[in-house]
Amino acid sequence: MILFDGKVYESSEQTRLLSELKEKIPTILQEKTLPSDVVIDAVDRLRQDTIDGKFDDLLTALPKETVESYKKQAVALLSKDYLHLKVRTELGDTKEYVTDKVEGFSRIRVKKVPLGVIFHIAAGNMDFLPAYSLVEGLLTGNINILKLPSADAGLSLKLIQQLIEYRPELKDFIYVFDTSSSDIQGMKAMAELANGISVWGSDMAIDAVRGLAPTGAKLIEWGQKLGFCYVSDLRSVPDVKEELEGLAKHIAFTKQLLCSSCQVIYVNTGDMKEVAAFAEEFRPYLQKAVEANTSDEVGVRARDTLVAYTQRLKGYLGKEEKKEDNVLRGRGMSLILKEDCKLELSPMMCNVLIKPLPKEKIAAALFEGRYYLQTAGLICPKEEREELAGLLVRCGLNRVTRGSEMSAFFPGESHDGEYALSRYVRIVNIEET
């Protein structure tokens, strides 16, 4: 389905509607602007309806705990107060100003304005990501073209329709297409309408977008990242049981599907016996968390099983060790012990890699994976935390959290080391006469 000018059309209308949009965009740019307050008001109304259960019928395929988590996040992150804070934090002072006088030069007026048109290519590994990416484009006053991921199942379209229902003036700034990623001509036509292309996804997806992007279009890449947890001197960690329990709950809840999820647990040692001892200690915590997060929905359980076995099969076809004495298995989970220090994707779905990584080798190990660094969980004694966090940041990490909070969102934080809203605007200079 396609959402165009506030109305829903069949996918077969794509070519005609894109041609119409090409004619429509210059008129919008000439005649209309979108104040952020209009967007914030619509999102705040969406927040309240979400809390009140208006969209519960769209969330029935998700585990109950996931739905409750989303509602909890909506209370804070979609509120007017938070959205105003987000704009202030990520854009700074948006008021235009005039530079000081420099002898022999004119003064200039400086202001931040929208890029113009943003083409969003959203990934499907987070349920609300397509709609959230579009909202960021709206907050900066841009016209937005959104290509939905194949796994969206109608959730994003429904939420976006609600935004337009709350504030009809948004319809000129929102165009949603369910185009397949294999439709190169359709993707290229959308890209050619954009000043900026915001793409979420794998290396392959980003490379493909680079190939179809017009010369001069701004590429805003949110690529694949690999999260890990670093464990040091566990015996001296206060509340160690709570720390391990929290990490296990994080792994079970996210199923390692997010960029911030824990793929590898590194242990501060070079001795595989210590790695094996940690795995034995951690196994019951992960088993308990997995059992607590098992969905009653047959479809969800089937999907999770299929993903896990597909990833395992890919590993066997590649270079994953096939011997079984390096794997501690449980019901719906496994801990895979490996002797190397490489940061890599795990089989996911609660199948975690555990590796040795002495503190003195952290930089060398992470340098190899420098393009994929984002989040590190840290479980260590309090007196080591500042040193280890500083080391991880110097190596390229953008987020250092507790093991339990690796995928948590913190108000005011950046994404992959950058503020999204600042990437969706440009700074213009107008000479004062």
pLDDT digit string, tens, across residues 109-135: 999 999 999 999 988 766 678 888 999
The number of C-alpha atoms within 13 Å of 326 and in the hemisphere containing its C-beta is: 14
Average pLDDT over residues 279-287: 97
Q: How far is CA 389 from the centre of its chain?
A: 22
Q: Residue 299 pLDDT more than 80?
A: no
pLDDT band for position 56 (cuts 50, 70, 90)? confident
Residue with tokens 């987070």: 126
Give the C-alpha separation, 250 to 138, whole Å. Answer: 31
Type of residue at 36? S
What is the reported pLDDT for 81? 92
Same domain, 240 and 197: no
Lowest mean pLDDT among 35-39, 70-74, 146-150: 70-74
Same domain, 261 and 397: yes
Same domain, 260 and 198: no
Residue with tokens 């854009």: 91
Answer yes or no: are the C-beta atoms of 183 and 152 closer than 8 Å.
no
Residue 200's beta-bridge partner residues?
222
Q: Is residue 389 part of a domain?
A: yes
Query: Quick one: 390 exposed, middle or buried, by C-beta within 10 A (0-12, 13-18, 19+)?
Result: exposed
pLDDT band for position 78 (cuts 50, 70, 90)? confident
Alpha-helical segments (H) within 369-419: 382-394
Give the C-alpha separation, 339 to 266, whole Å. Answer: 11
Q: Is residue 410 part of a domain?
A: no
Q: Is residue 292 part of a domain?
A: yes
Average pLDDT over residues 416-422: 93
Residue with tokens 């041609």: 19
Same domain, 189 and 326: no
CATH at residue 360: 3.40.309.10
Range 196-230 burial, b when 16+ CB lie within 10 A, else e: bbbbbbeeebbebbeebbeeebbebebbbbbbbbb
Q: Is residue 375 part of a domain?
A: yes
Residue 118's beta-bridge partner residues?
144, 196
Give percent of the chain with pLDDT exceeding 90: 70
Same domain, 251 and 365: yes
Same domain, 201 and 309: no
What is the reported pLDDT for 62? 65
As a whole number, the mean pLDDT across the chain is 89
Give the C-alpha separation, 200 to 119, whole Å. Answer: 11
Give percent of the chain with pLDDT exceeding 70: 90
Q: How far is CA 99 from CA 92, 102, 107, in A?
A: 17, 9, 6
Give the C-alpha separation, 297 to 141, whole Å. Answer: 40
Cα radius of gyration (the chain): 24
pLDDT band for position 301 (cuts 50, 70, 90)? very low
* Structural domain for 290, as ranges: 226-405
Residue 266's beta-bridge partner residues?
230, 355
The counts of H helices and E strands in the chain are 14, 17
Same domain, 232 and 320: yes
Domain count, the chain: 2
Count the neighbouring beta carbons within 10 Å of the beta carbon of residue 18: 21
Same domain, 165 and 252: no
Average pLDDT over residues 322-341: 88
Q: Is residue 384 part of a domain?
A: yes
What is the reported pLDDT for 321? 44
Average pLDDT over residues 212-231: 94
Same domain, 243 and 145: no
Q: Is residue 332 part of a domain?
A: yes
Residue with tokens 């705990």: 65
Q: What angle do CA 19, 20, 25 make, to 5 degrees?
A: 105
CATH at residue 80: 3.40.605.10
| Nearest CA among 362, 330, 360 for reference residue 264 | 362
Give the C-alpha separation, 299 to 305, whole Å. Answer: 10
Same domain, 33 and 131: yes
- What tokens appear for 429 in the block? 């200079």
SS3 call for 377: strand
Same domain, 214 and 233: no
Same domain, 267 and 152: no
Q: Is residue 411 part of a domain?
A: no
Q: Is residue 329 part of a domain?
A: yes
Residue with tokens 């990623």: 181
